[in-house]
Amino acid sequence: RAAASSAGAPEEGPPGGTAGTGEGMRAAAGLSRLLLRLPGAAERGRGSCREQPPSRLLQPWLAGCRGFGGLMAQYSTEQRGRLHSPDYRLYFKNSKGKYISPFHDIPLFTGPNEVKEIDAKRMKLSESEVVLNMIVEVPRWTNAKMEIATKEPLNPIKQDVKEGKLRYVANIFPHKGYIWNYGAFPQTWEDPHHKDDNTECYGDNDPIDVCEIGSQVRSPGEVVQVKVLGLLGLIDEGESDWKIIAIGVDDPESQKIHDIDDVRKFKPGYLEATVDWFKVYKVPDGKPENRFAFNGKFKDKAFALDIIKSTHEYWRALIHKKTDGGAIKCTNILVGTSPYCCNENDAQAILESAPPFEEK
């Protein structure tokens, strides 16, 4: 992925504020209509393809397992391999004791029951607010280029490797590491076969990236409910690489930040720093500055939601084998209509094939 590179649906999130632009409200309504047209929008199936006895419980934290409280309690992660090494992996498990793919099994849209299909009535809408699930790959102020391993079964989070060496982003003065909590939306895919009309470039073959601008420093593998605020159109090495700007619904400032203009008002300088960071973050590695669509101008929430909808549809084609995914692994246990759906024992075997967790 361009910048993302260290490390059931949650219960219905807290309502957003009452403010909202007309465009944002129309975008929310449009997204509702999309879900009505696509009854399997979140493509959860109706549970795993073939139910198996519950897999063994995760080992305690010292054995490489972590969970998140509150809204994130539905998911936990299990570490495998040696920390800070090329074989380190962070696997995901849901509240039902099943190992899952964060790419395919965690729903894009939030809802009260992760194993049922999500329709417009179950989407979290408050005025113009659409609440989506974000997977955190890289916590703010860290440098390790962690990313969802799209080409591995169950798609754990791993650290990117280049020429046999672990990858880290340089510190871009005056910042330390990534300047937001960086991650991706599940069940989205920037199709490398699709040429975008706005950028005139093809997709980067990854889930769509998210920059979460709240005040908290998140954890790798955390699943966060976020509000979409806008979008930056990065062109990274000739590929479309959208960067969604979002804020966690549990952030204190989320009640007053509803669209990209609110970011300018309440976090002055943050958007300008974001453009500068993406422009030059690869320069220390000897690469040229990145380019942007729309001359580096941010697009609003309505535009961002349209892009998210399109990448969700590309993912649906991918998970149903209606397009060529190349080396991407679509193994999942909850998308019951997918030909790639496996059972819990298969998922358990994938995890057990990975080396045990070592802290050093």
How confident is the prediction for the chain on average, in pLDDT? Answer: 82
Smallest CA-to-CA distance from 226 within 109, 75, 69 is with 109
Helix, strand, coil abundance in the chain, percent, nearest 5: 25, 25, 50
Q: What is the largest CA-CA distance in the chain?
A: 54
Smallest CA-to-CA distance from 270 within 129, 138, 140 is with 140
Residue 265 has a pLDDT of 97
pLDDT at 191 > cutoff 60: yes
Q: Could you give the angle at the alpha carbon of 261 between the alpha carbons of 177 and 72, nearest 5°?
A: 55
For residue 128, what pLDDT band results from cuts at 50, 70 and 90? low
Q: By CB neighbour count within 10 A (0-12 exposed, 13-18 middle, 19+ buried), where does 274 fall?
A: buried
Using omega within 30 degrees of 0 as the cis cutoff, is the peptide bond preceding 174 cis?
yes
Helix (H, G, I), strand (E, B) or coil at 46: coil
Which residue stretches of the chain are H helix?
Answer: 22-37, 260-266, 270-280, 301-319, 344-352
* Residues 1-14: tens digit of each pLDDT: 544 333 333 333 33
What type of residue sits at position 273? A
For residue 61, what pLDDT band results from cuts at 50, 70 and 90? very low
Residue 25 has a pLDDT of 44
* Residues 328-350: tens digit of each pLDDT: 999 999 999 999 999 999 999 99
Smallest CA-to-CA distance from 132 within 247, 234, 216 is with 247
